[in-house]
Amino acid sequence: MPTQQVTVTDRLVSFVFYCAPLDRYNGMYSDLHGLDTSKYGVTDSASYLTRLPFVVVDVDTKKVIYPTSGAYKEFPGRTYTSALHDGKRSVHSLDAIHIPDEVKRIALHIANDAFRYHRNFQLYPWTVPDAAHSKIHIFELRSDVQNKFIEKNNLPSIPSENTLVVKSAPTNEYYGFLTGDLWRKVSHEYTDADISRLCPSGTISRNALAGDMPHPQVAAHPSHALVPAMTNAVTPHSDGPHAYVGPVLGGSSPASVPAVVSAPALPQVTGSVETIAVDWLATLAPIYAAGAGSRSMAPLTVEIPTLGITLTFIGRALANAINTSDNTTIQQAIKRTSPRTFAAALKAAWRLHIDKLSLSSSWRPMLGSRLHKMGDGLDVTSFEDSLEHIDFTIHNHGAGDRNLPFPTSSGGQKLAKLYAELNRDSETLHGAIYTPWLNWVEPHDTHMHITAKGE
């Protein structure tokens, strides 16, 4: 059987990624929306991809052809360009990739889709031409500026989603668009199985009254170990001020959750220590069920009855996911956020008797570093402890507060405890909790950023 005529023996392919610019300085945005800032998506800290995981695969065999060793490669550091008529963009030039002779078509997997567990979405499947060196330009764009972008940059056409188009000149150059909608397809949506794997059921404990933490702070058990513990744990509610009073979740589908795991979790109070068995799949279920079919920017409140905590996604918390896409919904954005981020935040809040937490960002495709793009980041803007009358906004007074100790107010000291809890949590990347005071890095003046462990 004849095979393809290969006239070039060594084919090289280079990818260059141009990250989305800020909407505020983007003339293409104002051409479309004028002075209306409600459509802003790329705000505050423009997109960049340094250290984003990726692999290149043979489309047909799914075999990884790059890197040739190691699980994945990471995007290199950035340079900048302002040559695309829409403001300043970060640019990442990947090393040239040798295409083995037997490979006809290649594709990328990026972000959390680059991990072996996932690799669900082949990005830009493309037949490699018989050319010594092909260069591919990927432009990260809001979905709504595609027409403007080709017009201002003299490009022949809008590429169909997830395809590459040849440039008019120079030869052997191609381009594709990375919109918010394509980012959604690339990014892994956490399943019940992922949640159970990443956040196994366990018990957490706290001082029954607000104050010092009991020891040990957190004990994780396999679910079967809960049976005897829970039998003993079904004691009447404590009459302490922080006794569990919320309703009990019925649990999730029997197909994915063993019955024992979804049994009611009631607190056990021994002396001054209160312990509760947490089934994270059931506990996080209200979060992942929120915002179905909605693209609303309004605040969204989610009750976590098993822990007695109210989570609020503040107004515009998901604006980057929504406004850079045509179709992404609130629920789709939330479902791309690692369960470890929510589990860590809720665990720390519960242990400190915090009953309200406000969030300003979770998964987002086109803003800031790789962390939120991979679903590993969660931003907290305020918290409340109703019993102690603490209502604290995580916002410094300016540059002078950066990298200084937390405020001495009761709220500031509560934040200090929250920060300490998060930094020793099993779900988080220690050292990668950023605040407007301690461990400040750009741009964390108005929130605390939590980084969860990746896969």
Positions in 36-75 near Zn ion (CB under 5 A): none
Q: Is 455 in the site for Zn ion (CB under 5 A)?
A: no
Closer by beta carbon to Zn ion, 355 or else 379: 379
Tell me the residue type at 90: S
Near Zn ion by CB under 5 A, which window of 287-295, 315-323, 386-394, 445-453? 445-453
Closer by beta carbon to Zn ion, 251 or else 375: 375
Instruction: Give the span between the Cα atoms of 418 and 29, in whole angstroms.
Output: 39
Near Zn ion by CB under 5 A, which window of 189-197, 209-217, 254-262, 374-382? 374-382
CB of 265 to Zn ion, least distance (A): 30
CB of 282 to Zn ion, least distance (A): 27
* Residue in the block written with tokens 């312990």: 275
Positions in 244-273 near Zn ion (CB under 5 A): none
Closer by beta carbon to Zn ion, 13 or else 357: 357
Among 159, 267, 377, 411, binds Zn ion (CB under 5 A): 377
Near Zn ion by CB under 5 A, which window of 79-87, 122-130, 228-236, 378-386? 378-386
Q: Do β-strands 105-110 and 123-127 pair in parallel, antiparallel, or remain unpaired?
A: antiparallel
Among 11, 23, 449, 452, binds Zn ion (CB under 5 A): 449
CB of 170 to Zn ion, least distance (A): 39
CB of 18 to Zn ion, least distance (A): 23
Contact status, residue 164 vs residue 136, Cβ threshold 8 Å = yes
Near Zn ion by CB under 5 A, which window of 2-10, 120-128, 390-398, 446-454? 446-454
Q: Is 376 in the site for Zn ion (CB under 5 A)?
A: no
Instruction: Give the span between the Cα atoms of 117 and 51, in whole angstroms.
Output: 19
Near Zn ion by CB under 5 A, which window of 65-73, 301-309, 375-383, 405-413? 375-383
Instruction: Give the span between the Cα atoms of 392 and 385, in whole angstroms.
Output: 9
Closer by beta carbon to Zn ion, 134 or else 338: 338
Near Zn ion by CB under 5 A, which window of 57-65, 125-133, 394-402, 441-449? 441-449
CB of 390 to Zn ion, least distance (A): 23
Q: Is 270 exposed, middle or buried (0-12, 13-18, 19+ CB in 10 A)?
A: middle
Q: Is 379 in the site for Zn ion (CB under 5 A)?
A: yes
Closer by beta carbon to Zn ion, 188 or else 449: 449
Q: Is 427 in the site for Zn ion (CB under 5 A)?
A: no
Closer by beta carbon to Zn ion, 41 or else 377: 377
Q: Do β-strands 309-313 and 356-361 pair in parallel, antiparallel, or remain unpaired?
A: parallel
* Residue in the block written with tokens 């995007």: 75
Binding site for Zn ion (CB under 5 A): 377, 379, 449
